[in-house]
Amino acid sequence: MSAETAGPETLGSLSTEPEHQDPNSQQAKEISGKSPMRIALGRLARDKIAVICAIVVLFFIFCAVFAGPISSVFGVSLETPLASERVDGLNKGLPLPEMGPPNGAFTMEHPMGVAPRTGEDNLAYWLYGCRVSLLIATTATIFASVVGVIIGLLAGFLGGAVDKMLSFFIDMFLTVPFLLAALTLAPIINDRFNTADNYGTIQKIALVVVLSIFGWMGTARLIRGEVITLREREFVQAARVMGMPTSRILFKELLPNLAAPIIISVSLMLPTFVALEAGLAFLGIGVTDGVSWGQTILKATNLTFFREYPQYLWQPLLGIVALVLSLNLLGDAVRDALDPKTRR
């Protein structure tokens, strides 16, 4: 049908037909001119689960950093009071709290209640336990990541005898059961420093060292594999031809291209260390001289307390579950955002 013989209705319908756009070309226009990091942040911002998990993680970080001011606002502290002021020893023949549900009315003086037998404030111990867990896990993650990245860079780039030797050490550390090593080292540290005034600080440092020593191997393997692929790329060969020193090639040329795998490794290592810190404290070989979620759970697993005062156990346990689950889901989202090929 020609334009001369076509009626006005036909021409109107022809002119109003929508143009179909290729979704791939539209997506290419959206990401054109953006850096890979901005593209990844955009993907994360559109992921509702990642946003919720990030908010939860930020909440725990806020609680850990400002544990002292938050405790002051609520008027609670780690000071151990006279147990008789807060605990009713005649309640069912058990030293159960007089205040806070389920045995008493809710009070703002102790929003999360107090501990059985000792009368210690649960909110203060929850806040400072969050600080200890995140501090130890974050410090161990940083040290383990630095060691893993350096060893992975050297093994992947230098190759030959260096790669074989470093790969042997990686495999050797992987064969050592972490729990067995922790159970072996804990008594040695206890016997050596048990009488020291700063025993609590020594315990935390020792725990960071143990977690770092047995936590760097996965990062090293991942970085080694990436470097083996990158060292044959044109920009690395050009740097070699230009006579650049090895250190400059490793840290100026290769390291910036390893940002994605490093971020993924860190995001998955951090929740593992949070869970390990709490688990070791529960077993009595982690932080035993000080505040810890694991220590609170150990005290709360008393069968009598669990039956009559279950919130004493559920408060730190739910904190660990929420933090570890949020970190794991956020780590998966970060991995998917940085590497779209893995998106489910």
Residues whose CB is less than 8 angstroms from the CB of residue 199 and which lie 6 or more positions away in sequence, other chains included: 193, 289
Map out the domains of the chain as residue ranges.
46-78+121-342
- For residues 159 and 172, the answer to whether their CB atoms sit within 8 Å is no
Give the whole-angstrom CA distance, residue 8 versus residue 14: 10
Model pLDDT for residues 267-306, shown as the tens digit of each residue: 889 999 999 888 888 887 777 767 888 888 888 887 566 7
Task: Give the integer Cα–Cα distance in Å for 212 and 200.
Answer: 19
Q: Does residue 108 surpass a pLDDT of 70? A: yes
Of residues 22 and 102, which shows the higher confidence score? 102
| Residue 17 pLDDT | 47
What's the longest Cα–Cα distance across the chain? 103
* pLDDT confidence of residue 155: 92
Mean pLDDT of 45-62: 92
In this prediction, residue 178 carries a pLDDT of 84
Q: What percent of the chain has pLDDT over 90?
A: 28
**Whether residue 102 has a cis bond before it, omega within 30° of 0:** yes
Q: What is the pLDDT of residues 133-147, one digit of tens each?
A: 999 999 999 999 999
Q: How confident is the model at residue 236 (pLDDT cuts 50, 70, 90)?
A: confident
**The model's pTM:** 0.81
Amino acid residing at 59: F
Q: How far is CA 225 from the centre of its chain?
A: 23
The 10s digit of each residue's pLDDT in 78-105 is 877 665 566 665 555 556 666 666 666 6
- CATH superfamily assigned to domain 46-78+121-342: MetI-like (1.10.3720.10)
Highest mean pLDDT among 3-12, 16-25, 52-61: 52-61
Selection from 59-63, 250-254, 282-286 with the highest mean pLDDT = 59-63
Report the pLDDT averaged over residues 18-47.
65
- The model's confidence at residue 253, banded by pLDDT at 50, 70 and 90, is confident
Instruction: Report how far residue 315's alpha carbon sits from residue 293's, in angstroms, rounded to the nearest whole number.
Output: 9
- Report DSSP letters for 57-93, one per residue: HHHHHHHHHTHHHHHHHHT--S----HHHHEEEEETT
Q: What is the pLDDT of residue 105?
A: 63
The answer to whether residues 270 and 284 touch, using CB atoms and an 8 Å cutoff, is no
DSSP per-residue codes, 10-75: HHHHHHTPPPP--HHHHHHHHHTT--HHHHHHHHHHH-HHHHHHHHHHHHHHHHHHTHHHHHHHHT
Distance of CA 182 to the CA centre of its chain: 20
Mean pLDDT, range 334-342, rounded to an integer: 72
pLDDT of residue 14: 45
- On whether the CB atoms of residues 316 and 293 are closer than 8 A, the answer is yes
Q: What is the mean pLDDT of the chain?
A: 80
DSSP 203: H
**Phi, psi angles (nearest 5°) of residue 89:** -75, -15
User: What pLDDT band is residue 11 in, cutting at 50, 70 and 90?
Assistant: very low
When pLDDT is averaged across residues 154-166 and rounded to a whole number, the result is: 91
pLDDT tens digits, one per residue of 321-333: 999 999 999 988 8
